[in-house]
Amino acid sequence: MAGWEEWLCRNDEVFSLLQELRIRGCPKLIKSIPKHLPSLKKLGIANCEKLECFLPMTPSICELQLKKCNALQLEPLPCGLQELEIGGSNMNDSILEQMLQHCTHLDKLTISGCSNIKSLPEDGVSITLKKLRIEQCKAFDHSKIFLYTSLESLEIKDTKCGQLESFLLGSFPILKHVDISRCEELKFISATLEGSHHQHLTCLNSLEIWWCQNLSSLQIEDGLSVTNLTRLWLVGCPSLKSLPEQTHSIFPSLEALRIYGCPEIERVPKEGLPFKLKAFTIGSSDKLIGSLIRKKEWSLYTLPSLTYLLIGGSEVEMECFPDEHLLPSSLETLWLSQLPNLKSLEYKGFQHLTSLSRLLIDSCPKLQSMPPNMLPPSLSRLCISNCPLLEERCEKEKGKDWANISHIPVIEIGGEVMMKKGQ
């Protein structure tokens, strides 16, 4: 409705039962929208930059989304508002503080692409706010975030982070999820016992760090355990040199670990990885993958719960993979991706993988054959793509290695799926 200019409404009662209203992509809409919306619970206005009216606020409204609608006349929002999203707005700190002054029940706040908002109010919503997302706010000073101790979820994305060189996990006693992405100034993520208690870290279950080029360390004080952390993702952190030395005891509940684009991490800690680890992804981290190939201080075979392993994006020279008894018998999915120097699969490394059900191989141009009697009988799906030498040898009915894989129920080669009868 790019040409819509005016909303004509002759009867104020016509929308008395309307509970949700979304207005998007109406750049010419100028005149006011209906004001009498007593049942309205959700309101979203986006890309309506000429709309000048007051918002139709009712006591029942609980969700409000405003994106690129700078001409709107804003006023304090109703106390019952639970979710607020502001995007691409020229709103400043004082307007934001005025809007939020009565929002005593606000649970979720998202601020995206607002260059004039530099900080959060020091009070007002800090008692109840549970979810906070700050994205693409280049002038934002994150120091006041640490006043919001009621947070359960915090996302900081694509900002300069102001003074946020160190992120203190212990500042948020009930924080469950942390997602920090593209924060140029961030150097340390730390947790200490000083000024806090053990229970300050018992709620955290997910920590994701993405593309923070200056992050150099995870500093967890000796004796401190992040007891319920189940997911740790470290992606695109070229300055990060190591995992905490006591990773197995610091993160005793860790189930999913992703290390991708961290070229300076050389090895896993000497004590090994957490005992409950289920999924492990390693990519574009040559030093770490190289240590895996050489089995230096690795003990994957001792992890009884590991079911998923992806290794990829590495220029490391590897004649064959995996070595015998490198991988645990619990493994169900093995994914080998973008390994240009992988030449062969070691049949002895597969003999004890009695739980393996999926084998995925892609972008391994030098890999050229499937040795006979290599794959365990538990294997139910084999996927091969962008491996021209291997694909030719595994061609249905014609390839030299077809007899070695034809018993597998589901085979996908070069995008073509083949299934045995009865599947």
12-45: pLDDT as tens digits? 677 888 899 999 888 888 877 887 888 999 999 9
**Spatial distance between the Cα atoms of 92 and 115, rounded to a whole number of angstroms:** 8
Specify burial of residue 367 (Cβ count, 10 A radius: 0-12, 13-18, 19+). buried
pLDDT in 10s for each residue of the chain, 423 residues: 677 877 877 776 778 888 999 998 888 888 778 878 889 999 999 988 888 888 877 878 999 999 988 888 877 888 889 999 999 888 888 888 888 888 888 999 999 998 888 888 876 555 689 999 999 888 788 888 888 888 999 999 887 655 678 888 888 889 999 999 998 888 999 887 555 444 457 899 999 999 999 999 988 876 678 889 999 999 999 999 999 888 888 899 999 999 999 999 988 887 889 999 999 999 999 999 998 877 655 778 889 999 999 999 999 988 888 888 889 999 999 999 999 999 999 888 898 999 999 999 999 999 988 877 778 899 999 999 999 999 999 998 888 989 889 889 999 999 889 876 555
Determine contact, residues 153/159, Cβ cutoff 8 Å.
no
pTM of the model: 0.89
**Spatial distance between the Cα atoms of 278 and 104, rounded to a whole number of angstroms:** 41
Per-residue pLDDT of 235-249, as tens digits, reads 999 999 999 888 888
φ and ψ at 169, to 5 degrees?
-60, -35
Give 32's contacts (C-beta < 8 A, 6+ positions apart): 7, 52, 53, 54
Type of residue at 274 = P
Encoding tokens for residue 383?
A: 């996927």
**Spatial distance between the Cα atoms of 242 and 208, rounded to a whole number of angstroms:** 16
CA nearest 393: which of 423, 361, 421?
361
- 3 state DSSP class of 249: helix
List b or e across 311-321, with b for residues whose CB sees 16 or more CB atoms inside 10 angstroms: bbbbebebebb
